[in-house]
Every structure is written in C-alpha cells, then in structure tokens.
Chain A
Amino acid sequence: MNAVEMIGITKRFPGIVANDNIHLTVKKGEIHALLGENGAGKSTLMNILFGLYQPDEGEIRIHEKKVTITGPTMANKLGIGMVHQHFMLVQPFTVTENIILGDERTSSGFIDYKKAEQEIQKLSDQYGLKVNPRAKIADISVGMQQRVEILKTLYRGAEIIIFDEPTAVLTPQEIDELMAIMRNLVKEGKTIIFITHKLKEIMSVCDRVTIIRRGKVIDTVNVADTNENQLAALMVGREVSFEVIKEEAKPTRTVLEVKNLVVEDQRGVPVVNGLDLEVRAGEIVGIAGVDGNGQSELIEAITGLMPIKQGKISLNGKNVAHLKADKGTRARRITEAGVGHIPEDRHKRGLVLDFGINENMVLQNYYQSPFSKGWTIQYDEVNKYANRLIEEFDVRTPSHETLARSLSGGNQQKAIIAREIDRNPDLLIAAQPTRGLDVGAIEFIHRRIVEHRDKGKAVLLVSFELDEILKLSDRIAVIYEGKIIGWVDPKTTTEEELGLLMAGRAKKEGQ
C-alpha cells in the first residue's frame, strides 16, 4: 500500500520552476529519503504535501485516496506531520504547552493539562523519545527540542512524518539517537519522508531514496542497491570527490598571533581564558572542539565584534587588540587590515536577508571606490561586481537583485564566500563554512578555501564537523574551556585522539 503518491506535481515561482512534473511514491512503513542539493526543490515539494503551497499542476493521493491539501490543518487531519528544520516552539512554554498549542483538548472549557501530560509521556515512552513533558523549551537541548517537534506530530495522530533536514542542527551523537528514533517510528507502523543531502544518513537508515535535481526527479532507488558515490553523482549530476585534494602546506611568516587572550561574555564570565594561537601564511589551522568552548567568542574578538578583556592579537605583526576606532568601528579597521570572515551564522551576521545579492556582495566595501563616490553608491559598479562574483562562484540566483532571503542556504553561503575570498584577505576566518550544505557545495567551498591557502594566505577554520577539520587542516588546535589544550597533526591523529582532547583530556595526560 502506498502512503503518499504525488503525481505530476509542478510548481512555478517567478523566474524559476521549483518542481517540474515530479512523481513521488512513498510506501507505507518505509523511510523514504528525498535527496537533492540545496535549492533542488525538495522543500517546495514537501511544503506542497504539507499544504503550505498549492501546486500549479498535478495531484496528490494519501493512502490511495485523492486529496486537495489546503493547509497544515488539513494535512494534520490527513495524518501528515512535519518536523521543520527551524523549530516552531515557544521558548518560555513547557514541552506539554508547546505540543498542545493549536490542538488544545478541553474538558468543560478548560485545558486538561494532566491528561495531555500523561498522553505525551505515553507517546514518549512508546517511541523511546525520553522527553520530560514538564521541562521548559528554553532549558532543553536542541536535540531534545527536535524530539518535542516529533511528539507534536505524533500527538496530532500523524501517520506520515516529514523530516526537513533534521540533522543539520544536531551533534554527531544526537544524530545517532535520531536515527534510532526513526527506526522505532517505522517499527510502530509510521511512514517517514526524510529530506536530506547527507549520504551517510541515507545509507544508514533509509529504505528507498528519490533523487531530485533542479526541480526534476532523477531516479528512485533502493538504498540496498546503491552506494554513496553513486548517490552523490546522481544528486550533483557529475562525479564528486569526497577527498580534499591539496598539496603539502608551505607555511611562511606569521599572520595571526594571539597571546593570552581573555574575552568575557555579557555576564562577565571569561569564555576565552588565556588563549594562545598562531596562524601562518600558507596554512590552514583548524580549531576543533565541542560547541560552546569559546570558539565563537574567539572569532568575534579577532574580528573586532567583541571587546577584549586582556591579551594581545597581532595581524602581520601589528597589534589590533585595542585598535582605536578613530575612523569607523574596530571591526572595520580589522577588515581593512586584511581579514576576511565567513561568519558561523550566515543569517545573523553574514547577510542582510532583505537586501539584494548585489547589495550583500559589497557589505564589507560599499564605502570604497569604485562602489561609492562622494556620498553616493555607484549601483552600476555594484551590479557589475555582483554579477562577476555570481558567475565566478556559481551562485544560483535569478538575478543580482534577488533578495538574499529567497536563495537556498548553499547559494547564500556561496555568496558570502565569494564576497570574503574575492577581497583576497591575508587572513581568512571560516566558521562553520559548510554547515547545512550539500556535498556539491561542500566540495566547491573546500576547494576555494584550499586555493586561498595556496595563494599564500592564512586560513583559520572553525568547525564542529570533525571530518571537515581533518580533511582541510594542516594543523589542528583543540579548544577546551576557552584555551587551546593541544595541537595535533591531521595526518597522524585519529578521531579517538581528537575526541579525547575535545572532551578535555590534555594531551600530556593522555599519552
């Protein structure tokens, strides 16, 4: 029996066909992956299934009955639930309150919290979710919040659950746990549609996979009959290399030197606490560590976005720690001194989402010639420049005026990387440069970062993906509680060694 059939679905947006005559069949009780690059049309298709968009053509059958899904409420009634990439939870509410929000079952006019709580507890136990119904959302981890989203769909009686890139926000361990939960769900008779671009996850948990490229279905295959390389090729449309090809680093002079740096957060707690670091021209230094050990603050301090309590930061031998902002801000002075910064959160820092791509491309140098003349901005020059970068860095956008908001994550990231690399900075700081991106985009970005190194520039890489750190770095520094507690050589180290260091076991003791 088929749980979902989408037949000949076409959805057009101005300037783009997001879904082009798509056929998708999901059998009851399977985990069906929807694989595609960023912007391939996976999310659009699922939003259609969830009733958020209406298709221009085509029909949908749920449990072999033809339906028109007018909105999420209707989707819920049909037994379709969706776990969004960005959680839709009210932070100060408890788990129970969040789950019943919009589906409050009342007895004589009052919400029966007790009953709801019991029911949620029961569901949680049944599927092994281990969620405490009374906890406040603000107090629980991201992984736990995601399980609340899963519970939300179960509470509404979902039979078909759509997961929209669920692992993008999770730690490796949380990912393993999620995979187990998904298996449990299927065992209990649920059907899962799993949107992803991570091949490993597909191989480990899915039954079948439908590959979508540029709005069209390329193929549907049994996971048992395929492998990662084949899937990657189907998704990107060419052979993809998983290895980063790079030559031996030839480091020269010191570009960045950090000595005894102390940075305090808003509460006055030192989050970077006596950190030393050196990055030389022609090498990539990777910083490995568990999230929250001072990585973000280190970067913000180096780039002038956070005040420094104590210590020294020098760039090309010049101290910039207390650079006076006599003209513009400290951040600007440091940028001008030759620092490029790919920020960890592209939506928070990296882009003005409601600006066009053109305006975003000059975010760091709009005030310089030729982009500005007197007090005006020379939009002709800006557009010319933006078009060149769009071309060069393969940013897929209908035009240079398109709002950054409407691009896919991968293309947004490519735009940021284009902007930061094209200025040819002596030091490139790349924080989570490939978070949430597909293999094609990751390959592209990795190549660009290595190219930048090969031009004789320094690169500081921060990533929570051990894979990425190991592949790209020439040297790896492990950060723990605001200090570098050890340096390792990526060619000789193992994931185990790194893991121990990241957990705070200093190298000396370990050996």
Chain B
Amino acid sequence: MSQLNKQSTIVTALISIFLGIVVGAIAMQLAGYNAITAYQALFQGSLFQAFDLGETIRTTTPLILAGLSVAIAFRTGLFNIGVEGQMIIAQLSALIVGIKLNLPPGLHAIVAVLVGGIAGALWAFLPGFLKAVRGVHEVIICIMMNFIALYLSNVLIRNWLTESGADSTPKISPNASLRVDFLSEMFDHSRIHLGIVIALLMAFVMYYLLWRTKLGYELRAVGYNPYAAEYAGMNVKRNIIVSMLISGFFAGLAGAGEVLGTHGYIAIQSAFTGIGFDGIAVALLGANTPIGVIFSALLFGVLTYGSQNMEHMAQVPPELIRVVVAAIIFFVAANISGKLLDVVKTKRRAKES
C-alpha cells in the first residue's frame, strides 16, 4: 500500500510536469512563438554542452538546498517561507568570514560554509521559537525576517563591507572559495562549485536524519500528529525549534554556496533572488522527499538556466518559462493528475461494461 502511494507520487509529478510543459507550449503558440523551437533551445541550452551543464548544476545547487530546507520544515508541519532571508544572512556571514579572516585554503572554506549554515539556522530560530512558545504563526515572522535580512544585508554592505560606497563587496579570499579547478575545467570554466557535493550530502543527511534517527522519528511524529507526539512524551515545542534550526541550516548552506561558489561577492539587492521561494515549489514537486527534491530542483535548474538560452536562440521571452513552472505547481497542488487518472479509470470501466 505504501509502495503504491510512493509510486503514484512519482507518477503524479511526472504527469504534472508533462501537463505544465504542454500549457507552456500553448502559451507560447498563443503568443506567436514556436514552442518546439523554444523547448529545443531550452533543453539544448541547458544540458548539451559542458559549460551549460555546469551552469545548470550551479543553478540547481541552491535549489536543492532550499528545497530540502522547505521539505524538512514541512515534515514537522512548519511552513518555512523564510528560506530567502536565511540565505541572505548566511551569504552575508559566509562572505564576512571569506573576506575578513585569513585561514589556510580548504579550512577557510569549511569555516565559511559552517558559519553560513549556522547563521541561517539562527535566523530561523526566532520564528521557530515564537511558534513553539508563543504560538505565533511562523509564516508571518518568516516573511518579516526576510525583509529584515534583505535590508540589513544592504546596510552592512554599503556602510561596512565596501570601500567608498560601491554597490558590491570585494571578492572573498580564494582560500574560502568553493570552486575547484578540476570541476571548473571539467565543465569548461562554468561556475559549478563544491556546493553541489554539499547539497547531495545534505539530501542524504536529511534522509538519514528523518528515517533512521530518534530525532527524525520525533520530527515526523510531531509533523503528522502533534497530539500523538505529546501523548508519546515527546517535547513538541523543542522539536518545532529543532526542525526550524535544521531547515535554516540547509537554507544557510544554500546561501553560503552562492557567495563562496557562484559569485564570490555580494551586490546590493533591491529585491529577493526568488531562490528561497522556488524552494517551496521544489519541495512540493519533490513530495518532501530528499530524492524527489534533488530531481525537482534539477528540473527547475534546467528550466531557469535554459530559459536564457531560449531567449537567445528562439527569441522567446524567458518569462514564459515561469508560466511552465507555475503550471507545474498548479497541477501538483491541485492534484489534477490524480483526478485525471480517476476519470480515465471510470471511462474505461464504462466502456468495458
């Protein structure tokens, strides 16, 4: 039975993706573009060459971590919409370590990554704490914390981290960089970095944590049924806080990876990057499972990165890809595919009888 449920989730996801792509194609045709050409450009531009593949993986990396972050919170019945803010704070903290400290290569990067993760966890602590102790809804706090993070980061960059009011910080020390030569060379000097290894490792950590440890057992119990968890003598409040800390840690690693691997500096941002919000969609499509998150993040990575090439080669505005993404989410959330399957079953029965 549980086996079947798992399968149907995968089927649901695949059907939703397919329908999303079809909807996108219809939108393109209606807007006067050639959908086939556009999708060719999309997939070719994101997968077929080493550089593009590397960049696609680079785009996918923070999406995996953001997706894991949202997923693990979901598992405990929490909606961490604050991934965006946790990433920003982590990015800032990792950058400060990357610029201000002077450590040997390797160690410097490890320290910076860990500081980023911890910063993200601490930023997520407050919403978790308020939820557990005061019953304040985490979504509200998280959204406010996002804005605090964004503007705090801008103020610090402007007034402390840049010389003479430039709009971006200096670059981190090469010792703290997550980019490694063999990966960069393998992928034709794209910005792929060790963050992908961290992301995959964290997916495994999430699996192990949730399904192999006592803590994971408690987190899931609290998520599914807090009353039963209380009955079983679990400390529901503590588990809520712990869940947010872990979720924030994953988000923090996503932010650290972005600054230590992809950019090497931070520019003043007038708006959110949207990676944290995409993480919600990734978790949803991935059914909150680590493996599901990896694959759905990859899909989002391909769509996001490939959409640039779609514009380049097929002159289709990349905004149309957001239509595809939105449609996929819609189909998953509304469980359209499940309903379609039912209709098909019924029709077939009607025909047979």
Task: Tell me if B233 is interfacial: C-beta within 8 Å of chain A.
Answer: yes
Contact A402 B212 (CB under 8 A): no
Interface size counted on chain B using CB atoms at 8 A: 29
In-complex Cβ contact of B232 among A15, A353, A364, A375 (8 A): A364
Task: Tell me if A13 is interfacial: C-beta within 8 Å of chain B.
Answer: yes
Docked pose: A331 CA to B213 CA in angstroms: 22
Contact B349 A352 (CB under 8 A): no
Q: Identify which of A35-43, A187-195, A341-349 touches chain B.
A: A341-349
Task: Tell me if A70 is interfacial: C-beta within 8 Å of chain B.
Answer: yes
Question: Known contacts being A376-B213, A377-B214, is A70 close to B346, with CB within 8 Å?
Answer: yes
Docked pose: A351 CA to B1 CA in angstroms: 18
Interface size counted on chain A using CB atoms at 8 A: 44
Task: Tell me if A363 is interfacial: C-beta within 8 Å of chain B.
Answer: yes
Interface residues of A in 340-398 (CB under 8 A from B): 341, 343, 348-356, 359, 363-364, 366-367, 372, 375-377, 379, 398
Question: Known contacts being A68-B350, A356-B2, A366-B217, is A348 close to B235, with CB within 8 Å?
Answer: no
Question: Known contacts being A305-B231, A364-B233, A376-B214, is A355 close to B224, with CB within 8 Å?
Answer: yes
Task: Tell me if B230 is interfacial: C-beta within 8 Å of chain A.
Answer: yes
Please name all residues of chain B whose beta carbon is closer than 8 Å to the beta carbon of A335 when the two chains form the complex. 233
Interface residues of A in 432-471 (CB under 8 A from B): none
Please name all residues of chain B whose beta carbon is closer than 8 Å to the beta carbon of A353 when the two chains form the complex. 224-225
Please name all residues of chain B whose beta carbon is closer than 8 Å to the beta carbon of A71 when the two chains form the complex. 346
Contact B214 A366 (CB under 8 A): yes
B130 to chain A, nearest CB (A): 20
Per-residue CB contact flags for chain B residues 310-353 toward chain A (1 = under 8 Å, else 0) read: 00000000000000000000000000000000000110011001
Contact B346 A54 (CB under 8 A): yes
Task: Tell me if B220 is interfacial: C-beta within 8 Å of chain A.
Answer: yes
Contact B231 A329 (CB under 8 A): no
Task: Tell me if B234 is interfacial: C-beta within 8 Å of chain A.
Answer: yes
Docked pose: A351 CA to B4 CA in angstroms: 22
Contact B1 A377 (CB under 8 A): no
Please name all residues of chain A whose beta carbon is closer than 8 Å to the beta carbon of B164 when the two chains form the complex. none
Please name all residues of chain A whose beta carbon is closer than 8 Å to the beta carbon of B5 when the two chains form the complex. 403
Residue of B221, B233, B235 most packed against chain A (CB within 10 A): B233
Task: Tell me if B205 is interfacial: C-beta within 8 Å of chain A.
Answer: no
Question: Known contacts being A366-B217, A375-B215, is A14 close to B345, with CB within 8 Å?
Answer: no
Please name all residues of chain B whose beta carbon is closer than 8 Å to the beta carbon of A505 when the two chains form the complex. none
Task: Tell me if A401 is interfacial: C-beta within 8 Å of chain B.
Answer: yes
Contact A375 B213 (CB under 8 A): yes
A60 to B, closest residue via Cβ: B353
In-complex Cβ contact of B227 among A15, A348, A364, A402 (8 A): A348
Docked pose: A341 CA to B3 CA in angstroms: 31
Please name all residues of chain A whose beta carbon is closer than 8 Å to the beta carbon of B349 when the two chains form the complex. 54-55, 68
In-complex Cβ contact of B231 among A70, A350, A355 (8 A): A350
Question: Known contacts being A376-B212, A376-B213, is A349 close to B353, with CB within 8 Å?
Answer: no
B229 to A, closest residue via Cβ: A352
Docked pose: A70 CA to B234 CA in angstroms: 44
Contact B230 A305 (CB under 8 A): yes
Interface residues of A in 14-63 (CB under 8 A from B): 14-15, 54-55, 59
Contact A329 B2 (CB under 8 A): no
B110 to chain A, nearest CB (A): 23
Contact B346 A348 (CB under 8 A): no
Task: Tell me if A84 is interfacial: C-beta within 8 Å of chain B.
Answer: no
Docked pose: A333 CA to B233 CA in angstroms: 8
Per-residue CB contact flags for chain B residues 198-227 toward chain A (1 = under 8 Å, else 0) read: 000000000000001111110011001101
Contact A402 B2 (CB under 8 A): yes
In-complex Cβ contact of A331 among B216, B230, B346 (8 A): B230
B345 to A, closest residue via Cβ: A54
A348 to B, closest residue via Cβ: B227
A304 to B, closest residue via Cβ: B233
Task: Tell me if B144 is interfacial: C-beta within 8 Å of chain A.
Answer: no
Docked pose: A363 CA to B222 CA in angstroms: 12
Task: Tell me if B228 is interfacial: C-beta within 8 Å of chain A.
Answer: yes
A67 to B, closest residue via Cβ: B353
Interface residues of B in 159-204 (CB under 8 A from A): none
A103 to chain B, nearest CB (A): 21
Docked pose: A70 CA to B216 CA in angstroms: 41
Contact B231 A341 (CB under 8 A): yes
Docked pose: A55 CA to B353 CA in angstroms: 11
Please name all residues of chain B whose beta carbon is closer than 8 Å to the beta carbon of A377 when the two chains form the complex. 212-214, 216-217
Contact A13 B1 (CB under 8 A): yes
Task: Tell me if A328 is interfacial: C-beta within 8 Å of chain B.
Answer: yes
Docked pose: A326 CA to B221 CA in angstroms: 22
B242 to chain A, nearest CB (A): 13
Please name all residues of chain B whose beta carbon is closer than 8 Å to the beta carbon of A350 when the two chains form the complex. 228, 231
In-complex Cβ contact of A363 among B216, B221, B235, B345 (8 A): B221
Contact A354 B228 (CB under 8 A): no
Docked pose: A351 CA to B225 CA in angstroms: 8
Contact B221 A355 (CB under 8 A): yes
B170 to chain A, nearest CB (A): 42
Docked pose: A328 CA to B229 CA in angstroms: 12
Per-residue CB contact flags for chain B residues 250-286 toward chain A (1 = under 8 Å, else 0) read: 0000000000000000000000000000000000000
Please name all residues of chain A whose beta carbon is closer than 8 Å to the beta carbon of B231 when the two chains form the complex. 303, 305, 331, 341, 343, 349-350, 363
Please name all residues of chain A whose beta carbon is closer than 8 Å to the beta carbon of B2 when the two chains form the complex. 356, 401-403
B347 to A, closest residue via Cβ: A70
A343 to B, closest residue via Cβ: B231
Docked pose: A474 CA to B216 CA in angstroms: 43
Docked pose: A317 CA to B216 CA in angstroms: 36
Task: Tell me if A332 is interfacial: C-beta within 8 Å of chain B.
Answer: yes
Task: Tell me if A406 is interfacial: C-beta within 8 Å of chain B.
Answer: yes
Please name all residues of chain B whose beta carbon is closer than 8 Å to the beta carbon of A403 when the two chains form the complex. 1-2, 5
B287 to chain A, nearest CB (A): 13
Docked pose: A71 CA to B343 CA in angstroms: 10
Please name all residues of chain B whose beta carbon is closer than 8 Å to the beta carbon of A372 when the two chains form the complex. 214
In-complex Cβ contact of A375 among B3, B214, B220 (8 A): B214
In-complex Cβ contact of B230 among A329, A356, A398 (8 A): A329
Please name all residues of chain B whose beta carbon is closer than 8 Å to the beta carbon of A13 when the two chains form the complex. 1
A345 to B, closest residue via Cβ: B227
Please name all residues of chain A whose beta carbon is closer than 8 Å to the beta carbon of B233 when the two chains form the complex. 304, 328-329, 331-333, 335, 364
Docked pose: A353 CA to B217 CA in angstroms: 14
In-complex Cβ contact of B217 among A333, A341, A359 (8 A): A359
Please name all residues of chain A whose beta carbon is closer than 8 Å to the beta carbon of B212 when the two chains form the complex. 376-377, 379
Residue of A14, A303, A351, A363 most packed against chain B (CB within 10 A): A363
Docked pose: A353 CA to B349 CA in angstroms: 32
Residue of B3, B229, B231, B350 most packed against chain A (CB within 10 A): B231
10 tightest Cβ-Cβ pairs between the two chains A and B? A332-B233, A349-B231, A363-B232, A331-B233, A354-B224, A352-B225, A70-B346, A352-B224, A352-B228, A348-B227
Q: Could you show 26 A-B contacts with beta carbons less than 8 Å apart?
A: A14-B1, A59-B353, A68-B346, A68-B353, A70-B350, A304-B233, A305-B230, A305-B231, A329-B230, A329-B235, A331-B231, A332-B233, A333-B233, A335-B233, A352-B221, A353-B224, A354-B224, A363-B231, A366-B214, A376-B212, A377-B212, A377-B214, A379-B212, A398-B1, A403-B1, A403-B2
